[in-house]
Amino acid sequence: MREAHPVERAVGIDYYVSGTDGVGGRLRDRPADFRVRERESFDVDLHPEDADTGSYPHLVFRATLRGWDTNDFASALSDALGVSRERVSWAGTKDKHAVTTQLFSVKLETNDLPELDHADVEVLGRAGRPVLFGDLAGNEFEVVVRDAERPANADGIAAELRTFAADGADSEDAEGRVAVPNFFGQQRFGSMRPITHRVGLDVVRGDWESAAVRYVCESSDREPDATREAREEVGETRDWQAALDLLPGRLRYERAIASRLAEGAAEPADYREALERLPTNLQRMFVNAAQSYAFNLMLSERLERGLPFGRPVEGDVVCFADDDGLPDPDRTQVVDAGRVETVARHCERGRAFVTAPLVGTDTEFGDGEPAEIAREVLDDLDIEPSDFSLPGEFDSTGTRRAIRVTTDLELEEEPLTLRFSLPKGSYATVVAREFLKADPDALS
């Protein structure tokens, strides 16, 4: 185990579990260096394209995108169709610096989809409900590392990750699968400007003004100079009408907030309404990022204390596997002293998973040291579960998330390439970071 990069520590990722020096290099030198294909789980009958649009209003399609952020593609598609962006939905959000194959639907009476650059679309049929976020079992990844400085170190890192998968067994005895802590990756918080969780914490604390102003005005030294200067000037003047001239056009979400504030910003409700001008999935993203930050801090503290990740200790909350062998956060159990060994065997066989909370109003902390870790993190952040009782899309009851993710890993040389699959919600960069041990900019 070794200390993480300072930029990662700012989002709660304090450690690498492998101690071997990283291979160096960078990811995403070109979109084709980072390929993602969804393992779809859209368990809905599809009907022919000419099916009755009254009964089956949603046109379902698979898109292979090159250099498209999912939100941007949805916006471009809705603009080309002349429909609300809210009519477009998808199974999972993907990064633009990649080639991604993913599932979408659009509520549309016709079957004709427009041609968009760098997008290959395959219409699959019509359905009675839209594709929903989470309608996938996981993702398959092929990740190329360019300009690796120490590619020979990859085998040693993989051996350490196999040891982590075996919960401390000697790497020579650990077979096959590798594991890493199931951190939320840097992109969850903003790769260039990692503030999404801080906006979310403002929301959870009820400080709507701080949340809206921070999202528009807080700058990062990783942004272009002109963008940084525009944000800082708006932050100093709070002249929201002038902000519409100062902020670059590509900052459309910041401009949407500024546009509402230019209408008048005297009460907390005005700032909340400004945030509500954003798409609903982005509104949810703020609170989700705050939950993710707290989760990362809990995992980092668990590593610091030397607690296991693949088997429970007394007081842990485990969840059980669903029919696909994936963690089911709706089926949980607090592990008491008398059942630690029994539940540990279930974890070894992939029937149960140790979890930590994504905190919300219904959060169950468990007992003992795991509960102590969770409560200390929330105390440090000055939040509590009841704070997540919020209006509209910001409200969250919370859930559980497995604290470790395991996968089969294939390594290929010249160039160094990593092939693996992960369940939905887990981040490829959380695997790749162990190999590169580089500035997160090299991962994004």
Taking the CA atoms of the chain, what radius of gyration do you get in angstroms? 22
Report CA-CA distances (Å) from 294 to 140, 192, 299, 376, 383. 27, 20, 9, 10, 10
Beta-sheet pairing, 416-423 with 409-412: antiparallel
191 phi and psi, to 5 degrees? -65, -45
Is residue 292 within 8 A of residue 189, CB to CB? The reply is: yes
95 carries an active-site annotation: yes
Cα gap 316→332, rounded to integer Å: 10
- Return d(Cα 198, Cα 302) in angstroms, integer: 22
Tokens at 303, concatenated? 């590593």
List all residues 6 or more positions away from 404 whose beta carbon is below 8 Å from its beta carbon. 164, 179, 180, 181, 182, 309, 310, 353, 354
Amino acid at 386: S
| 45 within 8 A of 108, measured Cβ to Cβ | no
CA distance 168 to 161: 10
Separation CA 425–CA 422 (nearest Å): 8
175 phi, psi to nearest 5 deg: -105, 140
The catalytic residue among 21, 43, 50, 95 is 95
β-bridge mates for residue 38, sequence order = 139
Torsion of CA 252, 254, 256, 260, to 10 degrees: -160
Give me the active site residues, please: 95
